[in-house]
Amino acid sequence: MTTTLIRGGRIIDPSQNLDRIGNLLLRDDRIVGIDSAAVADRLIDATGLIVCPGLIDVHVALREPGNEEDETVATATAAAIAGGFTSIASMPDTNPPIDNRSDAEFVLLMAKRAGNCNVFPLGSVTKGNKGEELAEIGQLVEGGAVALTDGKHPIANAEIMWRALEYARMFNVPVLNSPQVPELVGNGVMHEGKYSTVLGLAGIPSAAESIMVSRDIALAARNNNCRLHLMCVSTTVSVDLIRRAREKGVQVSCDVTPHHLALTDAELQSFDSNFKTQPPLRGLNHVRSLIEGLKDGTIEIISSDHQPYAEEEKDIELDLAPFGIVGLETLLPICIKTLIEPKHLTWPQLIAKLTTGPAKLLGLQKGTLQAGADADITLIDPTVEWTIDPGEFRSKSRNTPFGGWKVRGRASMTIVGGQTRYMLVR
């Protein structure tokens, strides 16, 4: 039996409305309690650091199996702990997709072998992520899937979405959809607006998202007790629709990414494919709406939407390059820069969107420092200044728009199951 005392840190635990300087005692893989003065086998000096529940990301592309040149379970989980994440949910849009029990179990096996952080598989809604026939949902849940999604493939067929919500409700798991109308996205490269016109690039209208958001909310409202989650919302109308639906009691939630808070479509003037994301970067008015949604609680979750691609896949013409960026290792500093420093959110509010919000969505017994909980803990240095260098990423891919950014704050230590899996070396 091993005890660890994390001493003198600012303990922030939104699950207990806790924010104070204190000590946290661990015994083996469990939390004993806060403000314990017990003698421990190991002492961690957390003076000047934030001590919080381990961060959770609700959708991360691992790329394995099938696209190991972009990322593997081992490299993605290494990136996760470097970013302060103790738990991540893995996207099923791999090759082959995670649409049966054995595939879900494969992800769990590879995560166990990697020995970095907890990985919770997301199972495909439809077979092959083709949107035509429901996958074996019961078997996926039995195999460890905590939610259902077709990843970046929108569930365009309304009947399929309706039945997915029905079946998912039977197993008490949420359906996560990427709200984009494929016909409106078309061959779009960026947000449809001033800059797409100036640059002569095919645009993706904001309506491509808000129409799908409206449809999904309508389906959820007529499907009692189902759980709908909309990934990566990016428009003013989407936030307004979700806000009104929640006020009416519809069980709908959503998340937003740091890059949709920190960047706008003006960045595409550089023709750098690292600014090409899906949904696309929007205008400043949309960014302001996302921030308001975070402030008033409409948006309860922030996700990295980690989408790794090998350099040769991204380093081509903008209209041919795939959508997506890596985000696990930059989420914290970008959130600090866009939300904490401008005082849009407090530290407890930000941490809630990275712990209790994700844990609630996925039904995880995580995201808390309560006595008896798993000893998954993140220590954050909120003041350290550093420059983002993609060459130092633990991820296998380097496709980030934040290279060279001077930022403040990062994970100092990541503890998973009572074991230190990452420690910042200075």
User: Which residues are tagged catalytic?
Assistant: 305
**Residue positions counted in the chain:** 426
Residue 408, both tokens: 């403040």
Residue 270's contacts (CB-CB under 8 Å, 6 or more residues apart) are: none
Please state, in angstroms and rounded to a whole number, the distance separating the CA atoms of residues 129 and 379: 37
Please state, in angstroms and rounded to a whole number, the distance separating the CA atoms of residues 372 and 384: 32
CB 303 within 8 A of CB 255: yes
Please state, in angstroms and rounded to a whole number, the distance separating the CA atoms of residues 135 and 161: 12
Q: How big is the chain by its Cα radius of gyration, in Å?
A: 20
CA dihedral 102, 104, 108, 111 (to 10 degrees): 120
Bond from prior residue into 279 cis (ω within 30 degrees of 0): yes
Residue 382's contacts (CB-CB under 8 Å, 6 or more residues apart) are: 49, 50, 336, 340, 347, 408, 409
DSSP 28: T
Q: Which residues, in sequence order, are bridge partners of residue 374?
A: 30
Please state, in angstroms and rounded to a whole number, the distance separating the CA atoms of residues 32 and 392: 35
Pairing of β 18-27 and β 30-34: antiparallel
Please state, in angstroms and rounded to a whole number, the distance separating the CA atoms of residues 157 and 219: 12
CA 112 from centroid of its chain's CA atoms = 20
